[in-house]
Amino acid sequence: MSVIIAIDAMGGDKAPFVTIEGIALALKKHPSVKFKVFGLSESVPEELEKHNLSGHENIEFIPCSEVVKGNTEPRLAIRKFKDSSMRRAIEAVSRKEADAVVSAGNTGAYMVLSKLILKTIPGLQRAAISTLLPTKNGKGVVMLDLGGNVDVPAEVLVQFCIMGQAFAKGVQGNKNPTVALLNIGSEELKGTASLKEAQQMIQTTNAVSNYKGFVEGDDIFEEKVDVIVTDGFTGNIALKTIEGTVRFFSGIMKEELKRSWITKIGALISKPAFMGLKKRLDPRRYNGAQFLGLQGISVKSHGGTDGFGFSHALGVAIDLAENNVNASLERELEALQEKLIIAESSAGLE
């Protein structure tokens, strides 16, 4: 049976042009996938026509009368905008009419609506934001939480480890991904009380397979592990720092390469290397963050991406749906609860 992806065609800075272009690109790579496209009648059909997708057998257009804009407050997105393209796309997953939903729209509103409509997986305390970051080998590293939860207790960090493993298995096809907790040092004595407790829980119960301990911030790109877990406060700061650093060095490099005729000639000679670097660090290739832990796959695309980047977010949703990640995650969470109960019982007998 074909995977069906629900799309908020009106989400993003340049919607619906970018979202429809992304669908056209995704169809070339995933010709059997079907798309339910939610958006305004006055703009989406025109874009579908431009990309020769009007009447395509794999595309169903569902007209909506409202749009959740970038400045719409999450509480208003909940109370009003009942016929918005964002809400109706999420509801399609809730009603089992689609296997996943993708939006490039208002992050706060999208997250709140996804949590409200799809709800968290039974036994899971909190959902988390996860994405893939670039590494030297090009495989990428899964990192979470990236802003969904500021304060995270030990048991939730353990659940995040299991969620990150499920994401890595679904998106990367990694059968047994390695996992680590982000800390200020690799030594067991370092870190917050919740980090130490989480590691002790993992080591005592063997709740997380292939656990490798603590890693530091400078290990993120070093291919030491496949999944890095932290709280949303630390994760969001780390992510924004990485993005800012890349922009900073890119700007300086451009200035230096234009400084004199010698540097300009050097830049021309080194152009193939610079193009290769640009391709490897292209954020569009890593577009698509998932709200892990919900009873339905919800993927967030960057609002400022182009069609190529949006197609990658669609690819993440397709991979997660095809690999039935949520079912696998539910089984592993049930196993975690059993291990914790056994560990508590053993501790009580001592």
Along the 350 residues of the chain, how does pLDDT read in single tens digits? Answer: 689 999 999 999 898 999 999 999 999 999 999 999 999 999 999 999 999 998 899 999 999 999 999 888 988 888 999 999 999 999 999 999 999 999 999 988 999 999 999 998 887 888 888 888 888 777 789 999 888 888 899 999 999 998 888 888 877 778 889 999 999 988 888 889 999 999 998 888 887 888 999 999 989 888 889 999 999 899 889 888 888 887 887 788 788 778 888 878 877 877 787 677 666 667 777 788 889 889 999 999 988 889 999 999 999 999 889 888 777 777 777 766 666 655 555 555 45
Neighbours of 90 (CB within 10 A): 27
- Using an 8 Å Cβ cutoff, are 315 and 102 in contact? no
* CATH 3.40.718.10 residue ranges for the chain: 1-121+293-323, 125-290
Amino acid at 303: G
User: HSE on the CB side for 30, CA within 13 Å?
Assistant: 24
Q: What does pTM read for this prediction?
A: 0.84
Superfamily per CATH, domain 125-290 = Isopropylmalate Dehydrogenase (3.40.718.10)
d(CA 231, CA 102): 24
d(CA 110, CA 103): 8
- CATH class, 1-121+293-323 region: alpha beta
3-state secondary structure 108-160: HHHHHHHHHHHCECCCCCCCEEEEEECCCCCCCEEEECCCCCCCCCHHHHHHH
Q: Where are the alpha helices (DSSP H) in 95-142?
A: 107-118
